[in-house]
Amino acid sequence: ARITLRQLLDHAAEEGYGVPAFNINNMEQILAIMQAARLTDAPVILQASRGARAYAGDAMITKMVEAVEAMYPEIPVCLHQDHGNSEATCFSAIQAGFTSVMMDGSLEADAATPASYDYNLSITGKVTEAAHAVGVSVEGELGCLGSLESGKGEKEDGHGFDGTLSRDQLLTDPDQAVDFVTRTKVDALAIAMGTSHGAYKFSRKPDGEILAMQVAQAINERLPELHLVMHGSSSVPQALQDLFNANGGAMPQTFGVPVEEIQRGIAYGVRKINIDTDCRLAMTGMVRKTAREQPEEFDLRKFLKPALEALRKLCVERYEQFGTAGQA
Ligand code: G3H
Ligand code: 13P
Ligand code: NA
Ligand code: ZN
């Protein structure tokens, strides 16, 4: 059954759990997430980026989601636009049947520069007004994701910019968050606190200096009802790095967001936890393993089935770790 982000996160707040939002691009990812949700009795957020919509096509994405809704009728599913960069992106997602959209006004639409506060307020407010009129939820973003170690604004995955930012720009201002949420009426707010997209988040296991969980705490003190969103929340587990590298991959040693830090965030009102990199690594690690161990194999299913199972295992772990399990 399809639900909105607002409905799901209100329930998460009441019961004190977090919901991982996994990125989807294809059938195997969607099936892996739904199988994990059934195994753990967890509600689901499936999120599609602009890149995912371009890769698969809106009809393919939405029909696949309709298909798993029929296959898994007991699981509530929110279909969310990840990182909408413009009103047009958000409106076409709503038209396609998404029940939630992210208007990411933290960057200009071309993602080349940090946006002004007025631009972010204005575009997010407009999208929220239109979305709410048709029963769709909205996630906004305040503050720029990027590394507190290097000051680099992020561009890990091709979108985002290359410049250097101050610590101020890389951390959401809690007082500004109050103003932003009050004026835009967003249902959820993505905040900047030192996480970034992709595999290369930290050069060491993060402490409070480079992963500023205290920002979530400060916003939660001011706005205890607000649903916070953590982007760049992959943990980049050592085991997945090892699987990838043992099978011919080349990934330099890196550190992600430890699961126990996310669990602390959930206590501070973090309700939606965005994870893509871990999913990618789990699947491509297994594809590499099959390719290395069975060079004679050319049945694509023999590659994708173990990859699906690896993603399913990761999703089960996150549903259990975030307290989503048992909440469907
Ligand atoms: O925000 C980034 C997500 O990992 C989606 O990545 O834009 O390459 O699909 P993508
Ligand atoms: P990761 O790259 O850490 O998985 O973050 C994904 C994300 O934030 C998608 O919006
Ligand atoms: Na999002
Ligand atoms: Zn993100």
Residues whose beta carbons lie less than 5 angstroms from ion ligand 3: 82, 102
Question: Which amino acid is located at 58 in the chain?
Answer: D
Residue 326 lies in a domain: no
CA of 243 to the centre of ligand 4 (A): 25
- As a whole number of angstroms, the distance between CA 58 and CA 101 comes to 14
Does residue 207 have an active-site annotation?
Answer: no
**Is 269 among the domain residues?**
yes
Structural domain including 188 reads 5-321
147 domain-assigned? yes
Q: Which two tokens stand for residue 88?
A: 């047009």
Q: Say what the pLDDT of residue 160 is.
A: 66
Question: 328 in a domain, yes or no?
Answer: no
Report the Cα–Cα distance between both ends of the chain, in Å, rounded: 11
pLDDT at site 157:
54
Of 48, 123, 127, the residue nearest 82 (C-alpha)? 48
- DSSP-derived 3-state class of residue 171: strand
Question: Does 273 reside within a domain?
Answer: yes
Ligand nearest to the CA of 279: 2
Give pLDDT, residue 162.
73
229 alpha carbon – ligand 4 mean position (Å): 9
**Eight-state DSSP code of residue 212:** -
CB 180 within 8 A of CB 121: yes
How many domains, in total, are found in the chain? Answer: 1
Instruction: Report the CATH number that the domain containing residue 197 is assigned in CATH.
Output: 3.20.20.70
Say yes or no: CB of residue 104 within 6 Å of ligand 2: no
**Has residue 327 been placed in a domain?**
no
ipTM of the complex: 0.98
H or E element, residue 110: none
Q: What angle do CA 25, 31, 36 make, to 5 degrees?
A: 120
Pocket lining: 275 vs ligand 2, CB cutoff 6 Å:
yes
pLDDT recorded at residue 217: 98
- Which residues are known binding-site members for Zn(2+)? 83, 104, 141, 197, 231
- Residue tagged active-site, from 82, 173, 187, 278: 82
Low-confidence ranges of the chain (pLDDT < 50): 158
Using CA atoms, how far apart are residues 247 and 244, in angstroms rounded to an integer? 6
Residue 314 lies in a domain: yes
Contact 300, 283 (CB under 8 A): no
What residue ranges line ligand 1, CB within 6 angstroms? 23, 49, 51-52, 82-83, 157, 159, 197, 276
Residue 283 lies in a domain: yes
Which candidate, 82, 104, 97, places its Cα nearest to that of 23? 82
Q: Which two tokens stand for residue 247?
A: 């099978």
Which residue's CA is the closest to the ligand 1 atom numbered 7?
Answer: 51
275 pairs with which residues across the strands? 22
